[in-house]
Structure 1
Amino acid sequence: MTERLDWVPPDVDTSVPNPARVYDYWLDGDHNFQADRELGEKILKIMPGVRDASRLNRAFLRRAAGFMVDSGVRQFLDIGSGIPTVGNLHEIVQRADPECRVVYVDREPVAVAHSRMLLEGNDRCEVIQADLRDVDDILDAPETARLLDFDQPVGLFMLLLLHFVPDAWNPEAILARYRDRLAPGSFLAVSHVAADTEAARLPEAVEAYKSTQNQPYPRTYDEVIRFFDGYELVEPGLVGCAMWRPQGVGDMSDDPTVNSLPYAGVGRKP
């Protein structure tokens, strides 16, 4: 049965699960539907550590954003930003400096609708509904032009996004187009499901995702690191998500396979 709530955009079929809403469910958010919860539980039965990996990815966002602010960046572009949950990028960076500006981009209508509700009254944030491939539409959008100055460094985030991009789309070329528009001193943060993880039953979990019409494409270390072409990797380089500058026990899992399930890294454009 299709759930229909007054805040749900009319063109959203809530009977079809969506990866952004499944991720929201794993993070204990409330912007998901029965189909998302059912798929989330199905994948958790296959790989119980997925929920912990989602939490670790959120912790990586916090640490990478804090690092960029400490490096002098005050403007951010988050592509594939997903459903609003506690610890959003704008909350992190504006807590450090209220002058920070953030543009969120997602193609999922529910994510965009909720982001706009959440950000109402925050004149230093904008939300755009667009696909990763719409490079010029995103970078030249009026919302982007209002907040971001591409003559100054930008912090670009693409977290748990690129493993939904097939090789046929040539993701390296897409990332190069973004990179070429960024000023020197800009940063790129990426997290990506690892194909060479020791986590058992990953292929089964990937197969379960086919019902979302968003097929995941886990990649190896050598494949993921190519997304940083043209950047200098910040220490400690491309590592398991939990191993990127952990700041406390909460940034790690007791299961070492979960710690390395998503790769994560930050690169700086010289």
Structure 2
Amino acid sequence: MPNDSADTDQPDLHIADIERASLSRVNDWYLGGSFNTPVDRDFAERVLHVLPAARTMAVDHRDFLRRCLTYLVAHGIRQFIDIGSGMPTLGNVHEVTRSLSPDAKVVYVDNDPVTIAHSRRLLDNDPRAIIIDADLRQADRVIGAPELQQFIDLTEPTGLLMIAVLHFVPDSDDPARLIARYRAALPAGSYIAISHLTDETTPPRLREQVRACTSAHHDISPLVPRDRATLAAWLHELDLVPPGIVTAHRWRPDRTPLDSPEHDLTVAALGRTTARSQTTAGTPVADPYQPVR
């Protein structure tokens, strides 16, 4: 997850300010994890007070991730880069992909010191998953990290995941440029997955709650809802996997989705990179997919 110290040395875990809420640990609490502190739980409760749908959003993001990984493994992807990965709570990338293909490899990327320390302990004896310490806004540092370069073969198709993270990146950090830089580092046949906060189609009451949530989040991070047109602009160089850019709970659901305004707060998409000579920007991938109704 991004933080405001992107261009400074990361603090040692022993002096890390765990009295300040962390995006990674707050999300872990929403998902029922145990890697969070009282200050994280207090912050999460304050967010839920102004936006009761916050936990539903976290679950929608995580469920989209699971379905997305299932699709990617089924289509031959065996190496993954999880940008802004957060705490490795239940349903993390290496667990899901490993259950589908034992040879899957995962690079997690985060810059929260507690997340990094815990993840390194968790992955210490895992030869097919690592975490690197980097801010997602420093795309060149992420892609050029020696650990990543030695672990992932970037001449082979790769799944790059940006799940529930870009809404913490303000426009001043130019998310479109960041995505373009990551995209340029991936070979043809790779995929980029994005899920994002939106209030585009929500009723006025819920839109007001989102605004209150953005104010509550100001203490630890910006929070920027965006619409489908913005995601479409970010992904215009990719071929979109059907059903395209939709609310996360309606992206290739494996059961009949329950519609309610709370589910409209999360929008998601998966796009495939192609050789420039063959690409038609933003066109859907040929796919026999039929939505669950």
Q: CA deviation at 1:96?
A: 1.1
Q: Which residue among 76, 83, 90 is the counterpart of 1:79?
A: 83
Deviations 1:95-154 (A, max 9, x none): 111111110001111111111111121111110010112222221222212221111110
Q: 1:173 aligns with which of 172, 177, 180?
A: 177
Are 2:232 and 1:228 equivalent residues in the alignment?
A: no
| Cα shift readout 1:16-40 (whole Å, capped 9, x = no counterpart) | 1122111111111111111111111
Deviation at 1:11? 3.1
Q: How many residues align?
A: 259
| 2:172 is the alignment partner of 1:136 | no
| Counterpart in the other structure of 1:51 | 55
Decide whether the 8 Å contact of 1:81 with 1:104 is kept in 2.
yes
Corresponding position of 1:210: 218
The answer to whether structure 1 residue 15 and structure 2 residue 16 are counterparts is: no
% identical equivalent positions: 37
| TM-score, normalisation: structure 1 | 0.92
- For 1:63, the aligned partner's letter is R
Once the two structures are superposed, what CA deviation does each residue of 1:238-269 show, in whole Å capped at 9, x if it has no partner? 110100011025xx4x5521222111110001
- Give per-residue Cα distances to partners, 1:48-96, cap 9 Å, x unaligned: 1211221121111100011011111111000000011111101111111
Aligned partners of 1:236 and 1:258: how far apart in 2?
20
Q: Which residue of 1 aligns with 2:284?
A: none
CA distance in 2, matches of 1:217, 1:151: 34
- Report the counterpart of residue 97 of structure 1 in structure 2: 101
Q: Which runs of 5+ in 1 are unaligned?
A: 1-7
Contact 2:246 2:269 (C-alpha < 8 Å) held by counterparts: yes
Residues 239, 260 of structure 1: 8 Å contact kept: no
User: Which runs of 4 or more aligned residues in structure 1 lie more than 2 Å from their structure 2 counterparts after TM superposition?
Assistant: none
**Contact (CA 8 Å) 2:156, 2:187: kept in 1 or not?**
yes
Unpaired runs of 5+ in structure 2? Answer: 1-11, 275-293
Contact 2:80 2:107 in 1 (8 A): yes
